[in-house]
């Protein structure tokens, strides 16, 4: 008899653990469950987008791509000069702009590509 009682206890425990693994019964409030699932998803996504201190965050993952894209776009900027072409002067950016991490202020430009203010005015008059 003690063996049967022990085996019965084991079977009861196993059955209870299998019952716990079953999915919950369908809810009477399907809209409420959907709202709960969507809000949980939105909360997790917000945490991910706001940033995480490790290298797996979305901001950390796209930062190098963002810098590359930014420097490529800034590399297409025309080289405008506020001086006339015959003046022999060229524009030097102010020191406070050179400290910006944009990459366009320290670039070496070809003087043939410079667009001078008198050329702009000539185009505007046409």
Render pLDDT for 28-82 as a digit per residue (tens, 0 to 9): 888 998 999 999 999 988 877 776 666 777 777 788 898 899 888 877 888 888 8
Rounded Cα–Cα distance for residues 35 and 86 (Å) = 69
Domain boundaries, position 120: 78-126
> What is the pTM (predicted TM-score) of this model?
0.40
Please report whether residue 121 resides in a domain: yes
Rounded Cα–Cα distance for residues 34 and 40 (Å) = 10
Whether 77 and 42 have beta carbons less than 8 Å apart is answered as no
Nearest residue to 85 (alpha-carbon basis) of 120, 126, 122, 118: 118
Please report whether residue 37 resides in a domain: yes
Residues 59, 33 within the same domain: yes
Number of domains in the chain: 2
56: number of CA atoms within 13 Å, CB side? 2
Residues 70, 93 within the same domain: no
């Amino acid at each position: 008899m003690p063996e049967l009682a022990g085996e019965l206890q084991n079977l009861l425990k196993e059955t209870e653990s299998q019952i716990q693994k079953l999915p919950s019964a369908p809810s009477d409030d399907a809209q409420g469950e959907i709202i709960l699932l969507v809000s949980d998803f939105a909360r997790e996504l917000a945490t991910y987008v706001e940033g995480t201190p490790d290298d797996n965050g979305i901001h950390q993952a796209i930062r190098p791509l963002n810098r590359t894209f930014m420097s490529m776009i800034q590399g297409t900027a025309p080289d405008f000069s506020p001086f006339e072409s015959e003046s022999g002067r060229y524009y030097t950016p102010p020191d406070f702009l050179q400290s910006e991490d944009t990459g366009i202020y320290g670039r070496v430009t070809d003087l043939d590509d410079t667009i001078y203010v008198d050329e702009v005015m000539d185009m505007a008059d046409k």
